[in-house]
A and B are shown apart, each in its own frame.
Chain A
């Protein structure tokens, strides 16, 4: 793009920011102001930045950013098909704006227990003190223009607080629906799992139209001691859209975090997942699947920071790359000097279906402690001829054998999703997308 000037472009990014109403939370206003300041000192990353070396976002810089202020008049019947049978509690955001009439109220029992699922901007004052130390504290926007932009527009968002020793059985569904083209939404999530609590959260990005738009999300997840969080993140945006996402997870002592991120949509998507193991005995699992075709680009950057001893992390990220699509993976595991007895494994497997498909992968280890067990591996290849032969020898046609193997490659990740109906839905999607005739 021939950016007229850098300033005018940045200004266009912040368009509409000044019209945001001031929040009762003073810290939030300050945070926004800081983020606005920060945006003006940053620039859009280019391929010459190491972190963006393989992801050319210049098509995005040709888009105009226009945050949506008025929600589309959607009826429940329009979006019902996105609802999942298992979930009762859901927050729905339409083009980044909270839609109370589509969201489901919580059962009343939660009232005194302290269990909160609500829109961030409607937070009651007694809750403010709980979120104050966390909101905007975990996702750094100092060097991250997308996080800075999201924070500058921080207004509404999903807030979940699971109180001490409460196990929430039913998954919480955070549904982000895109309905209009050429708008930018800045979804925000904050999940605080207090000590000993258990929760499953589904962060779900869907669309009702196939045009271009921008989704720029930030999620902050905080696990106190012994908390257990299951986090599914499904990105099913339109194939013309842009999806930028930052998620930071902070794990306290003996907490467990499991995440599955699935990317099907977006022309260019980028997911930064930062996992900080801040105390001993924490465990995390970060699995992912990118299933892309045509000219899609899916970029996943996972950073696992082992700060303390005795933590375990495991990661399996898979990409199925069809047509002229391009998958990028960067997995960085940092083991700090303190973090003795770390056990960490990371694996990235890529399946290229056509000669034009591209993969750039960089599994990275940085280790400063000596008594650790760390492994990582990466493979890139096509379907194994022997496996195809094996299936053919049992009477399957070549094409069926290929479809079956491709499906199985992706299903390994999908099968780990703890929500049954979602699992079936996604299995169907994988099956359809990988089927060749």
Chain B
């Protein structure tokens, strides 16, 4: 490994700073009282409290899952503060009212909100810690009937929709972390695309974790009615901390007949320092239900951050002719661990799914693809194609694939392919011959390796992701 490569890999975390804002923090610990406190603080209706308590009850009965290929010290759930909200709590109507300190933070992060919305045409629902602070473009979206707001707000303004869909894809007792999230989630985004509406712009949310020691439990719910279409972006960065932070989000997508939901993620949370100290634990449950005929759910993710990434964005293909897609690039470096992949559950007839997963591991990291393709007896003529490629940079890292394929229908056609490779000396030599330095060559090779996935990203993200990867792997090859 050359010195340049070392440099690239070891570039310090760009977004590591803490914004000092007075936070309204709940005492540490989790019990029924905490849940009632969250519910009261957020002025929630009775049914939501019941939802939370039911989840908590289930959670108590569950055990922490151990099957993944990641190791971490035991999490003390009583040491986490489950609620923290930036102090200025009054409703904000315009950007001017946002705490200037907060705005400066976004400035540093490179999110010039006031300009960005206008320039890029993106509506940004900013989540800062657990409370939605400002929402832009809401009026514009409201004109066509799209509801895009924080889930807290949706609970009050559209309780019937939230009540109908919340927990319908990821039930409260689905898994340990989903149950925890259902019990204590504080905020998140809600998006509703009514019948026949194509969302005129990409929707995006920025997540940041602030306030040392507070776990963040986001809840996202996106529903697209018949013929609706939406592209949703989620991007995250987080400040540098030494204590591990748990992040257990739940994302639910529901697509009715002919609806189309595209969910893209660029994740660059704090991954810990070079020796693996600190970093975010990212234990997320993401699932989309392609409920209607001809519906489509597409996940695209670029995972570069977090000390531990443990998530499987999944598609349940219930409607006939529904389509599920999963495109993923996961990059791990230093002591990062990633166990990620997808599940494609084929239930309806003629359902199709595509999985393209690219894993790049460097340093001492471990990168696993774990996927499930299940074809139920009812899924006649189901079709799946999976491809997962890994690239190793250095001999201290590992790349694993655990694909599970269960087929219960003989008309199904399932294909899985995987390969592992490295950046060869001859490839670098070829570049050098043409006057391209190793640094740039590596960046080009990696971008070529990930091209299939980057193509799926919306324009702005594709640029960001390319830079991100270059940054992450700088100095690791050669």
Contacts and interface: CB of A to CB of B under 8 A. Distances in A.
Contacts, number: 111
Interface stretch (A196-204, A376-384, A408-416): A376-384
B407 A380 contact: yes
Query: For this complex, into which size category does the number of interface residues on chain B fall?
Result: 35 or more
B398 interface: yes
Interface string A351-372: 0111111111111111111111
B98 interface: no
B65 to A, nearest CB: 12
A371 B424 CA distance: 8
B401 A378 contact: no
Interface string B392-404: 1111111111111
B410 A357 contact: yes
Interface in B390-425: 390, 392-422
A370 B422 contact: yes
A397 interface: no
B414 A381 contact: yes
Contacts of B411: 355, 382
Contacts of B404: 360-362
Contacts of B419: 374-376
Given A355-B377, A377-B417, A378-B405, A366 B410 contact: no
A337 to B, nearest CB: 6
Contacts of A371: 395, 422
A380 B405 contact: yes
Nearest to B395: A370
B410 A369 contact: no
A376 B418 contact: yes
Contact of A367 (B399, B403, B408): B399
B406 A360 contact: yes
A371 B427 CA distance: 13
B410 A364 contact: no
A52 to B, nearest CB: 14
Contacts of A355: 377, 409-411
A364 to B, nearest CB: 5
Nearest to B380: A355
Contacts of A374: 418-420
A367 B402 contact: no
B420 A359 contact: no
A369 B418 CA distance: 16
B67 interface: yes
A378 B415 contact: yes
A367 B396 CA distance: 10
A50 interface: yes
Contacts of A369: 392, 395
A340 interface: yes
A364 B403 contact: yes
Nearest to A378: B416
A293 interface: no
A337 B401 contact: no
Contacts of B403: 362-364, 378
Contact of B420 (A50, A356, A367, A377): A367
Contacts of B398: 366-368
Given A375-B419, A377-B415, A377-B418, A365 B399 contact: yes
A269 interface: no
B400 A359 contact: no
A361 to B, nearest CB: 5
B352 to A, nearest CB: 14
A142 interface: no
B421 A373 contact: yes
A217 interface: no
A380 B407 CA distance: 7
A337 B396 contact: yes
A33 to B, nearest CB: 33
Nearest to A363: B403
A381 B413 contact: yes
A375 B416 contact: no
A372 B418 contact: no
A255 interface: no
B395 A337 contact: yes
A434 interface: no
B407 A350 contact: yes
A377 B403 CA distance: 10
A358 B408 contact: yes
B337 to A, nearest CB: 14
Given A50-B67, A366-B400, A373-B421, A379 B410 contact: no
A352 B415 CA distance: 14
A373 B414 contact: no
A8 B302 CA distance: 54
Contact of B416 (A50, A366, A367, A377): A377
Nearest to A366: B400
27 contacts: A337-B396, A352-B409, A355-B409, A358-B407, A359-B407, A360-B404, A360-B406, A362-B404, A363-B401, A364-B402, A364-B403, A365-B401, A368-B395, A368-B397, A368-B398, A369-B392, A371-B395, A375-B417, A375-B419, A376-B401, A377-B416, A378-B416, A379-B416, A380-B375, A380-B405, A380-B414, A382-B410
Closest 4 A-B residue pairs measured CB to CB?
A352-B410, A370-B392, A380-B414, A378-B416
Given A368-B395, A370-B394, A372-B392, 14 more contacts: A357-B410, A358-B407, A358-B408, A362-B402, A365-B400, A368-B398, A370-B397, A371-B422, A374-B419, A376-B418, A377-B415, A380-B405, A382-B411, A382-B413
